[in-house]
Every structure is written in structure tokens, then in C-alpha cells.
Structure 1
Amino acid sequence: MRIALLAPLPPEQTGIADYAEHFRRALQGEGVEVLTPLAGILDPAAQLRRLHSFDWNRVDLVHAELGGGRFGEFQALNYLSTHYPQLPLTATVHDPERLIWRRAKLFWPLTLLERLPQPMPQAAALLANPLTLHEERRLARRLTRVVTLTRLGGECLRRRMGLSAERVVHIAHGNLALAAAPLPPLEPLRLLYFGFIYRGKGIEDLLQALAQALAAQPLRRQQVRLTLAGGSAPELTFDPAGNYLEGLRQRIGELGLDGLIDWQLDLPATDIAATLQAHHVMVLPYRESKKLAWLGAMRGTSGALSWANACGRGVITSNARAFAEEVAAGNGVTYAQGNVEALAEHLQQLLVDPQRVSQWGERAAQLGLQRQWPTTARKFAEMFQAACGKSAQ
């Protein structure tokens, strides 16, 4: 089978690009030939020219990765659904319950609002939402199959897009097959935040919670360390509110956490597994965007969680997105997003009883075995075969 994959790919620094690269390699390992006709083409006009020039009759199916605030893949699927109506089209939707959430271009007079200070651009997106949702539903109904990484996300997407149940497929986020590594010594307890470092990830909540946990257990101050690891590209950490990294360092000092925090910025991909396995537990304090709440509920997952499973490490996570589903196997615990006291309580319990991380790690490793990329790729290959064998209901 030969497919065309429409997706961001490295060196783009996004979680979906990393996912797509592992996905591409795993499919090729299963004997699926994968072409990437839009790879490296970011300009919309250049993408359109490539859509016109590429021979789509060369492929059996087109699969796209939708999400991350990108529009090119959505627009390419729209083009193909119009010009090649017999070509099976499938997509993995990373941010259900919507496909793209907002339009690439607004129409007049909403374009005038985009030039004004906040919250006018957000108001423009909200006013355009009925049209955006109409366009999302129209494309969703043209897709042969849509894939979500969580069951909750699939159900929310199905309802919002008005799809039949058989059109929506759940295939969990794949992960690498890694050699098992024992937990490091339990003292000090090593906590890890892993992911892109920018506003909205709840890192401030984690720092505040750690300070509160240590205030309740002052004698255990030297028994814990927190590592902040992940991408810190300038476009992520510099914004109108100032330098986010410097703001975090200042907050660490204000909370009296100096000496307890380690930094591993711009972590190379080759060092991710070793870094995770040098820690006991991952902490993901994500908060859902209040602005996006006007448009819907994001019910996807996180690539960081798949790394935790692959490395056999448990997680403490907020209940944002569909994270509660991802730790339902006993590989960690959740707390209500934004509830710093609840997060502090979980951290305090670990300080008192660090042995809990062993059970979480065992459950995570079991999930990791079930979700290795070759197994995930086989599920996709089967879905592709079914999509090519019959049209959408």
C-alpha cells in the first residue's frame, strides 16, 4: 500500500511533528510506502501549487495529522475532497472535539478586529465560529475515517461533527520500544516536568504546589528535586507579556525553591528516554485555555504521557484534556486543573510515601508495551485497508 502523509515533520518543533515522524517510520516498518508531498512547504501559495502538481493517482489513500493550530493539512484535505472525490481520505485529529478550531483567514469586517488589541482578535474568532464549525463538519463528513488518540476525544468529536460511530476510530498514541530501566534511588525523589515551556502549561502551579508541600514537610526539603525539561524556542518563551523563562526563574526565587530546581532546556531527542528514566515521576500541571472554552472542549492527550509509558514512569497530571483516561490504568493520579492545593497534597504524599512511584511505573510500563509503535502502525494499516475497501457510510 502507498499512502500520502500530510503532516508537520522535524525539524519543526512541535509534538505533532515528532508524532508524525515516529508514525511514518513505523508504517514503513509494516510495509506501507509513505510519501510526504507537502514536507517542508509552509507557504500556503506554495502548498497549493504542490497540491496541483502532485500526481494523487499514485497513492491509495491520503492521511493527515490535524491539530496544533495548523491550517495547511485541513486546507489540503478540502482541496482533495473536491478535486479527487474517489480518493480515500483519513485523518488523526489531535485536538478533538474540533478539527482546527479557528479559520486560517477571517473575512471582512472581522479582519479589522484582528488588528486591534486583545480581546478583539479573540472576539473575531468567536464571531467567525459558526462558519468555522460548518466548514469543519463539512470536511469531517467527507473523510472516510477519523482517528482520535483517546476514547473521550473520539466521542466528543463524533457528537460535535455529527459523525456515525463507525467513522471514528480510537488508536492510542504510539510510543517507542525502550529497554526497561530501574527507578533511581528514592532519595532524593526526582520530579520531572517534560514538554514545551511556555505560558498555559501550568508550570507556575507546579512550583507553587511544590513550595506548599515543602512548607508542610520542611524536614524533607533535601529529599526532592524538580527538573524542568523541554523546548524553549524564542517564539514560545518570548511574548508580549515578557520573557517567560526569566519570569519562571524569578518565581522560583520568590518561592524559596532555589537549589531544588534543575533545568534541561531544548532537550535533544536522543536524551529524552535517559532523562525520563533518571526521574521517578512526571508531573503535567496543564490548564485548559479559557479562551478555547468558548469554542469547545479539547479532549486529546499529550506526547509527554506516551514517553512516560515508554519509559515506565508514572505521572501526576491535571484532569485537563483527556488525561484522566490516560492514567485510568493505575499509572498515576489526577487532580482538578488549577487546584494547587490538590497538587500539593499529591506531592506531599509522595514525600511521605515515595514507594507509590514503583506501582505507577509498573502500570506505565505495561501500557508502554501495549502501545509500541509497531503495534500502533499495524492498527493504522488495518484501518487504511478498510478505508480503501469501502467508502464512508
Structure 2
Amino acid sequence: MRVALIAPLPPEQNGIADYAGHLRNALQALDVEVVTPLQGVGNDPRQARQRIADSNWQGIDLVHAEIGGGRLAEFRALQALRERFAQLPLTATVHDPERLVWRLEKLPWPLSLAEHLPSPVPQAATLLADPLCLREERQLARSMTRLVTLTRAGSQSLRQRMGLHEQQMVVINHGNLAIEPQPLPPLQPLRLLYFGFIYRGKGIEDLLDALASLFVSQPALRAKVRLTLAGGSEPEMAFASKGSYLEELRLRIRQLGLSDLIDWQLDLPGDQIAPLIQAHHLMVLPYRESSKLRLLGELRGTSGALSWAVACGRGVITSDARSFAEEVSHGNGTIYPQGDVQALSKALAQVCSAPQLAAQWAASAAQLGQARQWQHTAERFRDMFRQACGQR
């Protein structure tokens, strides 16, 4: 089988590129030939369409895409392929259901005049143009042979919003690297880890506030808890028009009196991620859903960081954003209402008073990680590809 993979790929630094790279390697290990016609294009829709026009599609059995993160290049590439090849099997993993891309490449005139005006005028224009975006998304989604989501909640929301048939939908959980299990470190101090790209909207402030609240109510815990903030901090995410987010976090840490309890591990090489996670007892993911996105729909994706926790055999405390509740329904952690700092503080207090919880969550995570290794995940994709090709 010869498959064209339409996706961002390493060295691009985002979670979908990492996912696509692991999927490509796992498929090739199963003797599936994978070609990457868009490699090097980045998120440039115009170049993506041109690459589709210039590439040789003879001998391609199926095209699979990775869609999400607000990227338009893969979306436009799929549109161009469907226009050119009405019968070619097209499949895609949708990382951010209930929508495919959530935004138009360009606002139509006269709404485009609002793009350079002060906020909230551009946001209002985006909302007014959203029916046009939704129409494009539905048109492409309904023409796809199969659409993959990482959770059942994501599948249900995508199907309902796009108006899809049940036979188009496939759920394949996020794949994990095969990582050698490691025992938990000594239970004191309790080592907490935030891991992921560090930028606004991840709820890191909530985690800092929850820790500070915990130490106010139980001062004795200061000597028994440490937090590591780890992950990617590339300039386009950590710096914006509002200034340096990293410096904002450091200032907040000082103001809360947490400087002596916080460790930083930024921009780790890939081979150091697993040892870092396994040096901690559990991961904390305090994500908040974007208030702007809520005006356009419900985000029901999951998290690459959460899959790392599973792969490394570590439990999680996470908000109920996205589809996280489903992902921690296997006895591998607990959830709290997003944005509720006191609820997060209570969850932290619970595991501090009963650290054996961390051991229980870790054991369940390790079992789940074994079942979700990329080898098994790629087998499910290969089977899905074969079924999709059989419908040609």
C-alpha cells in the first residue's frame, strides 16, 4: 500500500507534527509506503495547493491528512485533491473536533476591511463570516472516506456538527511511544509536572494560584511539594504583542512566594522527555478552553502531553476541558472544573494527603500506555486504510 501523508512533520515544533512523525514511522515499520508531498511547505495554503498540482499522484492508493491547530495548508490540500480526484480515498485525523479548521483563510469583502481595526471589530467580523467557514468544512468533511478522532467524545461532536454518516467515523486513541516503565520516585517531596508548550491559555496561572492557596491552608506542605514547568517555549508562542509570557509567569511566581518550589525545564531534547516525566509522580494539565473558540463551537480534542503521561506510566490531574474527562476515565487520574482554582487546590491537597493515589494512577496509566503503543495504533490505521481503499 502506498499512502500520501498530508501533515506537518518534524522539525516543525507542534504537537501535530510530532504525532504525524510517529505515525509515519510506525506505518513504515508495517511495510506501508508513506510519501510526504507537502513536507517543507509549512502552513502556507497557497504553496500547499501548488504542491498538490505539481506532485505525481500515480500509484497513490490513499491520502491521509492530519488536520488541526488552526492550520489551513492541509485543509486546502484536501480540498484540491477532492476537486481533482473524485474517487481517491481521502482520510484524516481531526485533532480539534467539532470543527476541522475553525477559520477562513481570508475574510470576504467587506468583512476583510475589519482585519486591521482595533479589537473587537476583527473578532466580530470573524463571527459574521463563520457560516461561510462552516459551509466549507462540512463540504469537505462529507466528501471524506474516513475521519479519525482520538476520543469518542470528539467523534460524536464532529459527526453532529459536520452532519456525517456513522460509517465515516473512526476512533483511534492517541498513539504512545514504547517507553520502559520506571518506578515512582520516593513519595516525598511530591513532584508535580506541567508539561507542554508554554503559552497563554494553558491555565498555568491557575496551577500557580492553586499551589499558593494550598500552602496558605496547609503551610506544612511547602516542604513536601515541588512543581516543574517544562515544555516548548519557541518565540512565536512565548512572546506576543502583550510581551514575554515567560517573564509574566516568573513575576507571578515571585509575587506568590513560590520561587523556591518551582523548577524550569524548557525546550528539552526529545530523548530527555520520558526521563523527565518519570522523575515526577504525576502531571498537572490545567487547560482552559478559549472563550473566543466557544463562540464558534466546542473543542473536543485531547493532548499530546496527556499521551506522554500515559506512555510514561504517570497519572494526571487535569481540568475537564476538551475530551480530558474521557482520557482520565481509566483510573489514571482525576479531573476538576476548568478555571476553578479552589477545586484544583483541593485535588492537589487530596493527593498530598494520600500519595498512594499517585501510585494507583501510575499503575493504571502504565496499562493504558501498553495498549496504546504506536505499533498497535499503526495497525488500526493500516486496517482503516484497507477498508477505505475497498470502497473505491
Distance 2:264 2:193 in 1: 10
Mapping of residues 95-106 of structure 1, within 5 Å? 95-106=96-107
1:4 counterpart residue number: 4
Asked whether the equivalents of residues 189 and 226 of structure 2 are also in contact (C-alpha less than 8 Å), the reply is yes
2-side partners of 1:326 and 1:172: how far apart?
Answer: 9
User: Unaligned regions of 5+ residues in structure 2, if any?
Assistant: none
**Partner residue of 2:29?**
29
Q: Could you report, residue by residue, the CA deviation over 1:146-165 in whole angstroms, capped at 9, with x for unpaired residues?
A: 00001000000000000111
Residue 342 of structure 2 corresponds to residue 321 of structure 1: no
8 Å contact 1:227–1:262 — kept in the other structure?
yes
The structural deviation recorded for 1:56 is 1.2
Q: Which runs of 5 or more structure 1 residues have no equivalent in the other structure?
A: none
Corresponding residue for residue 131 of structure 2: 130
Does residue 60 (structure 1) correspond to residue 61 (structure 2)? The answer is yes
CA–CA distance in structure 2, aligned partners of residues 175 and 236 of structure 1: 25
How big is the shift at 1:216? Answer: 1.5
Deviation at 1:321, TM superposition (A): 0.1
Q: TM-score, normalised by structure 2?
A: 0.99
Distance in 1 of aligned mates of 2:295 and 2:50: 35
Give, in angstroms, the shift of residue 58 of structure 1: 2.3
CA–CA separation in structure 1 for the residues paired with 2:273 and 2:281 = 14
Letter of the 2:21 counterpart: E
1:352 is displaced (CA, Å) by 1.5
Deviations 1:6-47 (CA, angstroms, capped at 9, x unpaired): 000111110000000001000101111000000011343332
Deviation at 1:288, TM superposition (A): 0.1
Q: Structure 1 stretch 48-57 or stretch 258-267: which is displaced more?
A: 48-57
State whether structure 2 residue 282 is matched by structure 1 residue 276.
no
Q: Corresponding residue for 1:250?
A: 251
Q: Using the TM superposition, name which of 52-61 and 302-311 deviates more.
A: 52-61
Code of the residue aligned with 1:35 in structure 2: it is: V
> Contact conserved, 1:172 with 1:376, CA < 8 A, in 2?
yes
Paired with 2:47 and 2:360, the residues of 1 have a C-alpha distance of 51
Q: Secondary structure at the match of 1:365?
A: helix
Secondary structure of the corresponding residue to residue 88 of structure 2: coil
Residue 380 of structure 1, CA deviation: 0.3
Deviations 1:317-373 (A, max 9, x none): 000000000000110000000000000001111221111100000000011011000
Tell me what 1:41 maps to.
41
Map 1:83-102; keep pairs closer than 5 Å: 83-102=84-103
Deviation at 1:259, TM superposition (A): 0.6
CA contact (8 A) 1:176 1:372 kept: yes
Contact 2:48–2:73, Cα closer than 8 Å, also in 1? yes
Give the AA of the match of 2:219: P
Distance in 2 between the 1:267 and 1:94 partners? 24
Q: Secondary structure at the match of 2:3?
A: strand
Counterpart residue type for residue 250 of structure 1: L
What SS class does the counterpart of residue 58 from structure 2 fall into? helix
Query: Which residue of structure 2 lines up, in the alignment, with residue 306 of structure 1?
Result: 307
Give 1:289's aligned residue: 290
Partner in structure 1 of residue 176 of structure 2: 175
Map of 1:19 onto structure 2? 19
Name the amino acid aligned to 1:16.
I
User: Which residue does the alignment assign to 2:340?
Assistant: 339
- C-alpha distance in 1 between matches for 2:49 and 2:177: 34
Identity %: 64
Query: Is residue 158 from structure 1 mapped to residue 159 from structure 2 by the alignment?
Result: yes
CA distance in 2, matches of 1:323, 1:49: 37
Q: 2:38 and 2:13 mapped to 1: Cα distance?
A: 17
SS of structure 2 residue aligned to 1:301: coil
Aligned amino acid, residue 22 of structure 1: H
For the 8 Å contact 2:67–2:101, the answer to whether it is kept is yes
Moved more, 79-88 or 39-48: 39-48
Query: In structure 1, how many angstroms separate the alpha carbons of the residues matched to 2:69 and 2:17?
Result: 10
Paired amino acid for 1:299: R
Instruction: Kindly report the root-mean-square deviation, in angstroms, between the aligned alpha carbons of the 2 structures.
Output: 0.8
* Partner Cα distance (1:265, 1:198) in 2: 12
* Alignment check: 8 A CA contact 1:216 1:348 kept: no
Letter matched to residue 357 of structure 2: R
List structure 1 segments (4+ residues) > 6 angstroms apart after TM superposition. none
- Amino acid across the alignment from 2:389: C
What is the alpha-carbon distance in structure 2 between the residues aligned to residue 44 and residue 72 of structure 1?
4
Superposed, 1:210-229 pairs within 5 Å as: 210-229=211-230
Contact (CA 8 Å) 2:155, 2:171: kept in 1 or not? yes
> In structure 1, how many angstroms separate the alpha carbons of the residues matched to 2:270 and 2:121?
39
8 Å Cα contact 1:214/1:348 also seen in 2 = no
Q: 1:18 is aligned with what amino acid?
A: D
Greater Cα shift, 370-379 or 235-244? 235-244
CA distance in 2, matches of 1:216, 1:88: 58
Structure 2 counterpart of 1:351: 352
